[in-house]
Structure 1
């Protein structure tokens, strides 16, 4: 695999699914500790109080027929309440488990915490592998099933990540956030990555499921060219969005309205995208942990967002899917 900051769509082969797969959706949850998103990276001082709200969220998912994928990191995988709550849903076939690697809280602690090392893919290959392996083994031990999907925390895929996943038997990665560029913070640049599922390495090895983000507006076909050049000018992007000329829409309740999500869904489906990957961070289940959920009203709005978005997906004929179904349905 090429370095994320040098790759482009032509470097990857699009994955195809059996015709019966149609167009489906997958709900992924970055299940992680609470920490100050604007502060320095620290091995200590984080919280896990929101984990008590996961049971309510799981019940909600079951009520709307959705099987969430909990991508758990080290603080969550070591927490008895999380093991009990998520483990019960996984064992009942109502949820799935995956890996999310936050290097700064994941042993071995052989690196200096900081922006560069917060992206697992920036670490030396051996250290990235050691952290990943310890987390993978811990998840399998504590939750009783082997994880089948990986997401690098902060979307920090690196040049050694695909080979690491392939050696470990991880079939699917979902670290790519297509159209986003994190290079200013020493992270990867995904601005030119495809939004369709593709093979992360060749021959067929690790299947990449990018988080779904689309461009909307009269200039959306030029979005891949324009957005990277305008991303440092938020006022200009705001004007373009208000004039319905260009807007970037990720499928997440964090910072995206229901109306925006509906427009994004329409674009994705009209473009023939076979899989819509939705996501959010588990600390948003309780007030005060993320910039998107400050009070109980915001929590209520979060649930309302999911309820209305999934009703719209159903209206558009999009069926929720699972990692198991994706593995069984991919053809090449």
Structure 2
């Protein structure tokens, strides 16, 4: 599936709402990203580290949004740590669907089926419904936002979310194309919120990515051309010609992130959506945090980003506040 911004309707917010920022966390099981997916990989020991991250956010009055998948919803530790934050109104609850560990298990575990939107609509519906019920039962709270695992948005996803009363999707990673692996193509989608399904009132808040460099004006179309050539994107970034900057501590330096924030603000992006995966809170789980030094740098990244956002008068926001600020025509 290919999305193109020119075919979509932007979401309008009340005057004075933006700019804001949202921190979204993919709360999921640990698995080796270089190995094939497996149903039995359901360890969620890293969720214990969310206690520290939640306290870190509370200290700076940031309200993170935790997108919880099925194995995490089964975790008593997650229920204790995150459940308290949800009840206290200091964090928001969302869903993240990893099909290979979410019942019903009627599909083969393979790369194509790891993108939820590739599943038959009836199976995607059943998995979303199962996850919704499980998360509600575990945390006694309704989720209002959803992210497809592997950013695997499908043609039917928005209407299926509407059936569950979910008004916001955040499966789109702006300016990223996953079609080579069998997933969706967001290569031409900018980071501005838009109506994913206007009839069902489901909006999209993409993960924020921007372009920098001498040829930044060529943006998505220019990057599409160079990313087809091995190592060329890295060379273009190092030479300051064209650089894609996703707002995440996973693979983006502090300097790049601060530059990316400034670019997004110049482009009047109303909501900056910053994200990471919860296993990165434990050294060795992901390529981005290999040891304790990397973990210290991870928190330093967030400190610098939060300080910069505050200096630029970009305030944190939450899901209900976003929904209340939408202008319905």
Asked if TM exceeds 0.5, the reply is yes
Match for residue 294 of structure 1? 290
CA contact (8 A) 2:161 2:167 kept: yes
TM-score (norm 2): 0.98
- Which residue among 14, 18, 22 is the counterpart of 1:22? 18
Match for residue 109 of structure 2? 113
- Which residue among 146, 151, 154 is the counterpart of 1:155? 151
- Which residue among 67, 71, 78 is the counterpart of 1:75? 71
Paired with 1:130 and 1:170, the residues of 2 have a C-alpha distance of 15
Paired with 2:122 and 2:200, the residues of 1 have a C-alpha distance of 24
Paired with 1:146 and 1:227, the residues of 2 have a C-alpha distance of 39
Q: Deviations over 1:69-99 (max 9, x none)?
A: 0000000001010011100000001101000
**TM superposition shift of 1:233:** 2.5
Secondary structure of 2:197's match? coil
Match for residue 52 of structure 1? 48
TM-score (norm 1): 0.97
2:188 paired with 1:192: yes
How many residue pairs end up in the alignment?
A: 328
Paired with 2:319 and 2:71, the residues of 1 have a C-alpha distance of 23
Match for residue 27 of structure 2? 31
CA contact (8 A) 2:13 2:325 kept: yes
Give the alignment's Cα RMSD to 1 decimal: 1.0
Paired with 1:108 and 1:45, the residues of 2 have a C-alpha distance of 16
Secondary structure of 1:215's match? strand
Runs of 4+ deviating beyond 4 Å = none
Match for residue 126 of structure 2? 130
| Structure 1 unaligned spans of 5+ | none
2:201 paired with 1:209: no
**TM superposition shift of 1:122:** 0.1
Paired with 1:289 and 1:65, the residues of 2 have a C-alpha distance of 28
Paired with 2:13 and 2:260, the residues of 1 have a C-alpha distance of 22
**TM superposition shift of 1:232:** 3.2
**TM superposition shift of 1:234:** 4.2
- Which residue among 202, 216, 222 is the counterpart of 1:220? 216
**TM superposition shift of 1:239:** 2.1
2:310 paired with 1:314: yes
Match for residue 321 of structure 2? 325
Paired with 1:234 and 1:24, the residues of 2 have a C-alpha distance of 36
| Structure 2 unaligned spans of 5+ | none
**TM superposition shift of 1:204:** 5.9
**TM superposition shift of 1:138:** 0.8
